[in-house]
Amino acid sequence: MSLLAGKKALVTGVINDLSIAWGIAKNLAHHGATLGFAYQPNPKIERRCRACVEQLTPRPVFVEPCDVARDDEVKRLMAHWKEVHQDLDILVHSIAFAPATALGVPLIKTARADFLTAVDISAYSLIALCREAEPLFRPGGSVMALSYHGAVAYYPHYNVMGVAKAALECIVRYLAAELGGGRRPDARRVRVNAISAGPIPTLASKAVGDIDRMVEHYGEKSCLGRTVDQNEVGRTAVFLASDLASGVTGETIFVDAGYHFIGW
Ligand SMILES: NC(=O)c1ccc[n+]([C@@H]2O[C@H](COP(=O)([O-])OP(=O)(O)OC[C@H]3O[C@@H](n4cnc5c(N)ncnc54)[C@H](O)[C@@H]3O)[C@@H](O)[C@H]2O)c1
């Protein structure tokens, strides 16, 4: 029996076959989940996302645009999901963005507008997606978001993204409490977690900068003498999405080859 048989998953953040979201999607599909995708509206991104999705068998029917900075688009996405798939078990948030003017700029020089954009798209969007998805979740649903160690430690080039990831991890804990339902007898017991991945070359990480040096550094310092890849993140996503993780919520799980606790 496949771990995720009968479960329906909506995956955001596939822009090409290097995307962490694509590593997650392939692994969810491998374990039997029915997949749907939401891509950032842009003809080039749509083409690239569809080129990935077409590799899956059976081919997902739900491949829809959604700019997560827009509440109306998030609402429309979830309403459309309801029409096509009725309900939802797994929601993957694999989205981050900061304006180019904020990347490589020390935090102290970050413009207010750039800060707000970075936190809006990289962190607030999880709240927006969960708000619209909440009524669709079946009992035991699982939400996951992608984070990075820059949320809790200083990385010279990460700057505003570190602040956005700290917000994201905090949002994960608050949403875990709210969607878990506590003592409410009618609660759907949806779990919300973050995966904090080690550095992986992707479009987003190349935009942040220094990715090759980071990968090299993890090779020197991490317990396993390397960084991780998209499939390793994907397999952790399968665990979080499955009933194997039925008692795990509000956590940030590191998939970083054992880097984050090394002091020397
Ligand atoms: N690559 C790494 O080293 C690394 C490490 C830890 C965490 N992460 C996180 O993983 C997640 C995925 O990033 P990735 O590295 O796979 O890069 P990626 O470039 O493949 O994915 C980023 C995605 O965000 C989407 N996006 C940006 N703005 C959007 C918007 N307004 N609406 C909808 N979608 C939007 C892009 O279209 C893209 O699909 C991000 O949250 C990133 O911070 C990446």
* Mean predicted confidence (pLDDT) in 12-32: 98
Strand order in the sheet with 34-39: 63-65, 34-39, 8-12, 88-93, 137-147, 191-197, 252-255
Whether 151 contacts 196, CB under 8 Å: yes
DSSP 8-state class, residue 261: T
Averaged pLDDT of the chain: 97
Question: Is 154 domain-assigned?
Answer: yes
Which of these is catalytic: 124, 155, 158, 174? 158
Q: For residue 45, which atom of ligand 1 is closest to its CA?
A: 37
Which pLDDT belongs to residue 173? 98
Question: Is 260 domain-assigned?
Answer: no
Per residue in 161-174, pLDDT (tens digit) is: 999 999 999 999 99
1 Cβ contact partners less than 8 Å away, ≥ 6 residues apart? none
Question: Pocket of ligand 1, candidates 11, 15, 214, 227: which has the most ligand atoms within 8 Å of its Cβ, to mutate?
Answer: 15
Answer yes or no: is pLDDT of 201 > 80: yes
Q: What is the CATH number of the domain that holds 88?
A: 3.40.50.720
Question: Rounded to the nearest whole angstrom, what is the distance from the C-alpha of residue 204 to the centroid of ligand 1?
Answer: 5
Question: Rounded to the nearest whole angstrom, what is the distance from the C-alpha of residue 89 to the centroid of ligand 1?
Answer: 22
Global pTM reads 0.98
Nearest-angstrom CA–CA distance, 248 and 193: 8
Which pLDDT belongs to residue 24? 98
Which pLDDT belongs to residue 104? 84
10, 67, 151, 221: CA torsion to nearest 10: 70
Which of these is catalytic: 39, 148, 218, 259? 148
Per residue in 53-110, pLDDT (tens digit) is: 999 999 999 999 999 999 999 999 999 999 999 999 999 999 999 999 998 899 999 9
Question: Is 262 domain-assigned?
Answer: no
204 Cβ contact partners less than 8 Å away, ≥ 6 residues apart? 96, 97
Answer yes or no: is pLDDT of 52 > 90: yes
Q: Does the annotation mark 148 as catalytic?
A: yes
Question: Rounded to the nearest whole angstrom, what is the distance from the C-alpha of residue 211 to the centroid of ligand 1?
Answer: 14
Question: Is 261 domain-assigned?
Answer: no
Question: Is 107 domain-assigned?
Answer: yes
Question: Is 85 domain-assigned?
Answer: yes
Give the least confident one: 43-47, 73-77, 146-150, 156-160: 156-160
* Mean predicted confidence (pLDDT) in 241-252: 98
Which pLDDT belongs to residue 208? 85
Which pLDDT belongs to residue 1? 62
Answer yes or no: is pLDDT of 210 > 90: no
Domain containing 242 equals 8-255
Question: Is 3 domain-assigned?
Answer: no
Nearest-angstrom CA–CA distance, 57 and 227: 30
Angle, nearest 10°, between helix axes 230-241 and 20-30? Answer: 50
Which pLDDT belongs to residue 196? 98
Question: Is 130 domain-assigned?
Answer: yes
Nearest-angstrom CA–CA distance, 81 and 129: 12
* Mean predicted confidence (pLDDT) in 153-159: 93
Give burial (CB, 10 Å; 0-12/13-18/19+) of 201.
Answer: middle
* Mean predicted confidence (pLDDT) in 224-238: 98
Question: Pocket of ligand 1, candidates 18, 46, 94, 144: which has the most ligand atoms within 8 Å of its Cβ, to mutate?
Answer: 94
What DSSP letter does each residue of 156-216 carry, written as one string? Answer: TTTTHHHHHHHHHHHHHHHHHHHHH-TT-TT----EEEEEEEPP---HHHHHHS-HHHHHH
105, 107, 112, 117: CA torsion to nearest 10: 70
Number of other CB atoms surrounding residue 72 within 10 Å: 8
Tell me which residue of 226, 245, 225 sits closest to 235, measured CA to CA.
245
**Number of domains comprising the chain:** 1
Element (H, E) at 34: strand 34-39
* Mean predicted confidence (pLDDT) in 234-261: 98
